[in-house]
Structure 1
């Protein structure tokens, strides 16, 4: 098997990143759509000021996540055929990371909003904290701890270092 060129590696990195963003984009768009319709549903007028504040945090975080996760597409359009794939991959990596962080905030806030609406507040806080830990475990702890599990994916590790 022939060794890929630097240009091919950047193209592969970009393609891989776009695939990842497609998955995240679907999730954040569904959450954002839910949050956009929530104030117009029956029962929303019964929310407390705390719940409204949590709703605004969830909504704005979902909007921010949506913008960041979709932004590599706009960036790609602006840089199309300019030979700046490394810059595009670095930018997309940062936007994906920021978008995932905002998505985490939005999801945990949405869980807090719903659980606070149907349960006692202390229980809602506990369940929201567990939700945050659950997401952090799968989105941060496990992936970053995996970096030291062996050298079977050397090329991917090298690519990650270049992207960051």
Structure 2
């Protein structure tokens, strides 16, 4: 019979009563808080990685370990770019009345940054464990950690979204 606005209807209604612009503002604020956490982690990791090449032990690393190191540094650099990208995007389009679109692009950059952060962390862990242990179990251990990250960062959120989103 249509929406009569009764208390019963109000109890069943979900979501917020906000305009597209209000929603974009809220989502932008939430996204920036999330990006700050990821940025901090990648910047600390990347800063640490940049110092490794200047250590005396670097010259004694195997060719494989040096290759892993170089891949890890490049991954750290592109991860930093993806996670700082939303800030630049916001600054360059601010005031242009495209916030909903900017939020979508910033969200995509953030997810890309998280995938790259996963790869950077995995490569860092691989390098550190190879140098520290020289054991054959290292790839299995790194794989286990990557699976854990995939579950925490993507599996649980996607399951929650699927399980608790009304269709």
- TM-score > 0.5, shorter chain as reference: yes
Per-residue deviation, 1:84: 0.4
Confirm or deny that 1:19 pairs with 2:36.
Answer: no
Cα deviation code 1:113-156 (max 9, x no counterpart): 011011134221111111111111101111111113335xx6xx
Distance 1:129 1:92 in 2: 29
Confirm or deny that 1:28 pairs with 2:42.
Answer: yes
Normalised by the length of structure 1, the TM-score is: 0.87
Do the aligned partners of 2:46 and 2:73 also contact (CA within 8 Å) in 1? yes
Gap regions ≥5 residues in structure 1: 158-164
Do the aligned partners of 2:28 and 2:103 also contact (CA within 8 Å) in 1? yes
Calculate the aligned-residue CA RMSD, in Å: 1.7
Per-residue deviation, 1:80: 1.3
Gap regions ≥5 residues in structure 2: 1-9, 11-15
Match of 2:114 among 73, 81, 100: 100
Distance 1:149 1:94 in 2: 22
1:41-60 matched pairs, under 5 angstroms: 41-60=55-74
What residue number does 2:99 align with?
85
What residue number does 2:142 align with?
128
Normalised by the length of structure 2, the TM-score is: 0.86
Which of structure 1's runs of 4+ aligned residues deviate more than 2 A? 148-151
- If you compute each CA radius of gyration, which structure gives the higher value, 1 or 2? 2
Per-residue deviation, 1:101: 0.8
Distance 1:90 1:117 in 2: 41
Match of 1:118 among 132, 146, 156: 132
Confirm or deny that 1:65 pairs with 2:79.
Answer: yes
